[in-house]
Amino acid sequence: MKHRLWALGLTCTTSAWAVPDWTQARIVKIEPERARVTLYHQPIKSIGMAAMTMPFKVAETVKLAPFKVGQKVRFTVTEMNGHLVVDQMEPAK
Ligand SMILES: [Cu+2]
């Protein structure tokens, strides 16, 4: 299904169809009660950020319960009200 969406994106020039910019990271800290996760992340190309450890807000759609500190993940960020918010996160190999 994902591949089908990507194929459609190639025929459309609006940024809404841009391929998500997945970034690799390792979980440093999880704070479900604050909807916050601290990640040691690789460079994030879409926003020109170097590799670092930093806390992120997570979107309501991201459930933190299955994740563990030390786990390798990949994630995407979006800007909401001037804050960077993790809007997708999933386990990485
Ligand atoms: Cu950062």
Enter the pTM of the model.
Answer: 0.77
- Please tell me the predicted confidence (pLDDT) of residue 4: 53
| Dist. CA 25 → ligand 1 center (Å) | 10
- Ion ligand 1: residue ranges with CB closer than 5 A: 49, 52, 54
**What integer pLDDT is reported at residue 25 of this predicted model?**
98
pLDDT at 80: 85
CA 19 / ligand 1 centre spacing (Å): 20
For the chain, the structural domain boundaries read 2-91
Find the 72 Cα to ligand 1 centroid distance in Å.
Answer: 16
- Superfamily grouping for domain 2-91: Copper binding periplasmic protein CusF (2.40.50.320)
Distances (CA, A) of 4 to 16, 58, 69, 76: 15, 27, 33, 20
The predicted-structure confidence for 32-88, as pLDDT tens digits, reads as follows 999 999 999 999 988 899 999 999 999 999 999 999 999 999 999 998 888 899 999
pLDDT per residue as tens digits for the range 12-34: 444 555 567 899 999 999 999 99
Q: Tell me, in angstroms, the distance from the centre of ligand 1 to residue 54's CA.
A: 5
Unique residue bearing structure tokens 């299904």:
1
